[in-house]
Amino acid sequence: MMDALHPREILLGAQAGGQALPVCDHYSGVEARMRKSLQMQAELTEEFGACVVDVTLDCEDGAPVGQEVEHARLVASLASGAAATARVAARVHATDHPAFASDIDIIAGAAGQRLCHIMVPKVETVDDVVAAEKALLRAGATHLPLHVLIESPLAVSHAFEIASHPRVQSISFGLMDFVSSHGGAIPANAMTSQGQFAHPLVVRAKLEIAAACHAYGKVPSHCVVTEFTDPAAMQAAAQRASQELGYTRMWSIHPSQIRPILRAFAPALAEVEAAARILLAAQAAQWAPISHDGVLHDRASYRYYWQLLERAHYTGVALPSSVGHWFDVVTPLSHVTA
């Protein structure tokens, strides 16, 4: 019977096999900060009752030159020792970097069962995705999803083909490299929290990536905000990424950025409560069309409200007890606070 099925399976169909991701992806590459990030993730999970942030341990920017192998071993050790509830990823070097193969062999080979994904930077075409997938298979990480970072005009032109690859789970936009790859044609202001939403070439690239992701059921992840001492700028950028450009996830490069991201991507409590009422009424009607408060709802709007509840869960917003069992939540979660 349909009531026995989870709403996610009924409303999302084949897409229900995919995993909804936390809206924040936090990056760190220095050992002390990587350890602190994992501890912070555990504390946030306990506070919110759900994992609201991924932690990505960084080899590309974190490994000292000449010590790439040692750094990869450190990342593998930290990932292997993380708590069972942790969501830990690793960013390896680009596929054309001399350390790429050893990164995959060491990290995916030793800690593949503990990782939630591997992030591959500077992906230009789907050939880079294929190369990364082959490396994972050689390391025995047959299950591990790939997240990829698009950072150039060439890569943007291949966004849809890259998003179509079955191994790709999420695409991120690399703002700094994208701007610098234009040889001075885009001003430095386009790398700021406000300027990146104003320059047409940057906005076009962001929209192309978001559209490609949504076309293939993948997660678009927005780029960094470098002004990490300005939480208001961080939250404003996150709100624009979410509400204007269609992004459902965003990078954090400093602990102070995590809660502004959560707040910006979180639905309002009134929206959550309305979604719960509509979905419960839909379930009672065996998911047939209903009239709720004088408005017609059917599978299309049910799908929207289900995704809203998922986003609430992954941003720590309080879920009404009437739908908490859909997320294995016993008690309502607290709101994201400053």
What residues does each domain of the chain span? 24-265, 268-326
Q: Is 9 a residue whose pLDDT tops 60?
A: yes
What percentage of the chain has pLDDT greater than the value 70? 94
Phi then psi for residue 321, to 5 deg, are -60, -25
Q: Is 289 or 3 the better-scoring residue by pLDDT? A: 289
d(CA 180, CA 301) in angstroms, rounded, equals 42
Q: Is 3 a residue whose pLDDT tops 70?
A: no
Q: Is 275 a residue whose pLDDT tops 70?
A: yes
Q: Per-residue pLDDT tens for 319-337?
A: 999 998 898 743 333 344 4
**Secondary structure of residue 130 in the 3-state scheme:** helix
Q: Give pLDDT, residue 50.
A: 84
Q: Is 17 a residue whose pLDDT tops 90?
A: no
Q: Give pLDDT, residue 332.
A: 37
For 17, residues 6+ apart whose C-beta sits below 8 A from its C-beta are none
d(CA 55, CA 114) in angstroms, rounded, equals 12
The mean of the pLDDT values for the chain is: 92
CATH of segment(s) 24-265: 3.20.20.60
Angle at 100 (CA atoms; ends 191, 63), nearest 5 degrees: 60
Contact at 8 Å (CB) between 173 and 185? no
Q: Which residues pair with 91 in a beta bridge?
A: 58, 119
Q: Is 83 a residue whose pLDDT tops 60?
A: yes
Q: Give pLDDT, residue 133.
A: 98
Q: Is 18 a residue whose pLDDT tops 60?
A: no
Average confidence (pLDDT) over 108-115: 95
Q: How far apart are the first and last CA of the chain?
A: 44
d(CA 326, CA 324) in angstroms, rounded, equals 5
Q: Is 14 a residue whose pLDDT tops 60?
A: no
d(CA 9, CA 287) in angstroms, rounded, equals 12
Contact at 8 Å (CB) between 184 and 162? no
Characterize the bridge pairing of strands 290-292 and 295-297.
Answer: antiparallel
Q: Per-residue pLDDT tens for 148-204?
A: 999 999 999 999 999 999 999 999 999 999 999 999 999 999 999 999 999 999 999
What percentage of the chain has pLDDT greater than the value 90? 84
pLDDT grade for 4, boundaries at 50, 70 and 90:
low
Give this prediction's pTM.
Answer: 0.90
Q: Give pLDDT, residue 15.
A: 58
